[in-house]
Amino acid sequence: MTTMRPSLAALLLLLLPLLSCYAETVGLESVKKRENGPIPPNTQRAPSREQPAKNKGLPKALASGTQYIIGGEVVTSRSEYPYFVQLPGCGAFLIHDDIALSAAHCDVVIQPLNTRVLVNGIEVDTGIQRTVDRSLQHPLYDGWRSDYDYLVLKLDSSALVDASGNPTGAAKAELNAEREIPAPGDTLTAIGYGRYDNDSYEGSDVLLDVDFEYIDDDTCTERWGPDYFVRDVMFCAGVLEGGGKGSCNGDSGGPVLDQNTGTIVGITSYGSGKECASASRPNVYARVSGASTWIRNTLCELTDYPPDYCDGDGGPTVPDPGPGDVSIYFDLDGKANETGFSFTHDDSGYVYAYATFNESMNNQEYSISLQDLPVGNYTLAVNDAAGDGFCDYFSGAGCQGAFAVVDDNSESNFPVYINDNFYYYYIGVKLEIDNDGVLEYRYETYWPGSSFEPADNYPQLYDELWPGPHPTEPSSVYINLKHDDFPGETRWHLYQHSGGHTWSTVTSYDGGTDAPFNELVSVELKDLESPGWYHFSIEDSRGDGICCYYRRGWVAITAVLEVTEKPGMVWGNNGEFGDGTEIFFHLDENGMVSEFSAQRPSAARL
């Protein structure tokens, strides 16, 4: 049973005055809860150590790179991989007449829709031309992580035949659905037009392939860490002894073939931007079998040529009706053609609503009401092709527009979720309908793409670990370091003033080669001498701190504070300290921190 809903205009009149207040009181927390997760630089979601200046000349969507072929060979015949699809800066592969599969993080390169793609070519800008009508990312794709990196593309017509019905030479790839495949010892092949040299950003003018070995899950977890590697939807491949063969910038979304079975087992997802085809960080691929049901259902929903296993209408089975009633509202900005959305039942993969807007919707309102939705989890995915949400930074028009989700079963009709334009390229709003039909907001996934984080976005806004453990007794200090993705670059030292101009070392820490990636390392120092001054310094050998491009880190010092006589934070830094930074703090006669300074205390104060 639904309650009476206000008109769209009335709802927007209610919402829009609240948006600035909402943003002011909540800040960026509501849209940046996952900021401490991996930050995917543009279309490659693994960190690249190259600085932005070295990407000069590349399209914006490819700066820092997608994956390319290293150590490969030239493909000489179109019949070798007749299913390969060339996107602008990514790869894909044909899985049905008018359906292709790619990586979810490649969605940005085919936005806005109607982008030209080329099927079954072996040279750049050659092949059977088609355009992309629709694209759907996996509903569980998380822009901060690498899991569920799947994208289904609907082409404008079949790539298997031309307008006269004659065969084009293209063919459909056969997908693997077995979790046990690939297996240890299997030889795999990756395909792409990407970069073929670690010392150059030049991509290949001809299609390349490269053979390498499947790497077992335990080894991959050890090399990447559990936060990066999710076994059910990923696998690793490469050459562990010496490296030199694998994917690099530009191959993202391309297929990985298992030579033993002749099936496609993976989609190029991410790798080490520091060194492509690295032995220490082998390439990671989206495991096709991890989403076989969703791929099949989405194919049935989108295709104009439904295979026999689809329902009679070509769509997947619609879930049984349930108690949920939901409305989605958009107040679009002046570039509506950049925006698209989907609303998906995560448990079944069924897409209840999907739209891409065109210029006729500039500065217009849009709404859709969905009734009798089943119990379960949902994702509202909103994309912006320009990577600026409902904002236009380049023309100076500022930020306009908003979107909201309303539980129509609620008497208040107040939005369960509001976003007033801040989401860059992509935001996934996770929602749940319970057994009583109540809609609840869960969390967001967020992908800022190539946009850099403002310097004032300190980690306490979006990292639940911040600022780390606190000591319970005086004369104790915690130094809490949340590593970025390159812990071996980071070292810190704590010194104690021992008279005159002399400082003696209390302890030191070196991230070394075995420190955990993007994890918190806390060091507790007990029974420090007091009263006295202490000097803390931290440095980064790369000169880029522990922030920004490579999975944000931070550092904080906690102790018992004299001003409150309770544990608290003495000092914190969001990781943007370049080569290094330092602070000085003083313990009083009771072992509590009485003051701190960014400058070395004068001799008189010491």
**pLDDT tens digit string along 106-120?**
887 787 677 899 999
Q: Is the pLDDT of residue 499 over 60?
A: yes
CB-based contact 402:419 (threshold 8 Å): yes
Q: How far is it, in rounded angstroms, from Cα 373 to Cα 174?
A: 34
Is 70 exceeded by the pLDDT of residue 486? yes
Interval 307-319 mean pLDDT: 69
Q: Is the pLDDT of residue 304 over 90?
A: yes
Asked if 336 and 361 touch (Cβ cutoff 8 Å), the reply is: yes
> b/e for 453-484, b at 16 or more Cβ within 10 A?
beeebbbbbbbebbbbebbeebbbbbbbbbbb
Local confidence band at 534 (pLDDT 50, 70, 90 cut-offs) = very high
Mean pLDDT value of segment 330-352: 83
Nearest to 172 by CA among 114, 255, 252: 255
Where in the chain are the domains?
8-31+318-447, 65-292, 459-597
Quote the mean pLDDT of the chain: 78
In the predicted model, is pLDDT for residue 460 greater than 50? no
CA separation for the pair 199, 210 (Å, rounded): 18
User: How far is C-alpha 283 from the geometric centre of its chain's CA atoms?
Assistant: 16
Element counts in the chain: helices (H) and strands (E):
3, 33
Which residue, 69, 65, 32, 59, is CA-closest to 46? 65
Read off the pLDDT of residues 223-278 as tens digits, 9 standing for 90 and up. Answer: 877 666 788 889 998 888 766 777 777 788 999 999 999 999 999 988 765 567 66
**Is residue 170 pLDDT above 90, yes or no?**
yes
Neighbours of 272 (CB within 10 A): 25
Q: Lowest mean pLDDT: which of 109-118, 444-453, 468-477?
A: 444-453
Domain spanning 65-292, CATH class:
mainly beta
Judged on CB neighbours under 10 Å (0-12, 13-18, 19+), 14 is middle
DSSP 275: S
Return d(Cα 152, Cα 208) in angstroms, integer: 23
DSSP state of 123: B
pLDDT digits (tens, 9 = 90+) for 173-230: 999 988 889 998 899 999 988 766 655 556 678 898 889 999 998 888 888 776 667 8
- The residues facing 417 across adjacent strands are 405
Q: Phi first, then psi: what are they for 360, rounded to 5°?
A: -65, -15
Q: Rounded to an integer, what distance in angstroms lies between the CA atom of residue 156 and that of residue 153?
A: 10
Average pLDDT over residues 538-567: 82
Q: Indicate the helix (H) or strand (E) that contains 288.
A: none
Q: What is the pLDDT of residue 58?
A: 27
One-character DSSP codes across 134-166: EEEE-TT--TTS-TT--EEEEESS-SSB-TTS-
Higher pLDDT, 303 or 69: 303
Residues 6+ apart with CB under 8 A from 178: 289
| pTM beyond 0.75, yes or no | no
Q: Residue 338 above 90 pLDDT?
A: no
Residues 6+ apart with CB under 8 A from 324: 370, 372, 373, 374, 375, 409, 433, 437, 439
Instruction: Tell me the pLDDT tens digit for each residue of 580-596.
Output: 999 999 999 999 998 88
* Tokens (6 digits) for 445: 């996934």
Q: Which pLDDT does position 597 carry in this prediction? A: 85
Per-residue pLDDT at 277: 65
As a whole number of angstroms, the distance between CA 273 and CA 278 comes to: 9
Q: Render pLDDT for 413-432 as a digit per residue (tens, 0 to 9).
A: 788 998 876 666 678 888 99
Please give, one letter per residue, the 3-state secondary structure of 289-304: HHHHHHHHHHHHHHCC
Closest by CA position to 220, among listed 268, 290, 279: 279
Residue 496 near residue 508, CB atoms below 8 Å: no
Task: Give the C-alpha separation, 447 to 31, whole Å.
Answer: 10
Give the pLDDT confidence score for residue 44 in this predicted structure: 28
Cα–Cα distance, 298 to 152 (Å, whole number)? 7
Calculate mean pLDDT across residues 285-302: 89
Residue 546: per-residue pLDDT: 87
Q: How confident is the model at residue 159 (pLDDT cuts 50, 70, 90)?
A: very high
Length of the chain (residues):
606
- H-type helices in 209-345, by residue range? 217-224, 292-302
Is the N-terminal amide bond of 52 cis, ω within 30° of 0?
Answer: no
pLDDT at 59 over 70: no
Nearest Cα neighbor of 451 from 395, 397, 391 is 391
> What is the mean predicted confidence (pLDDT) over 342-365?
83
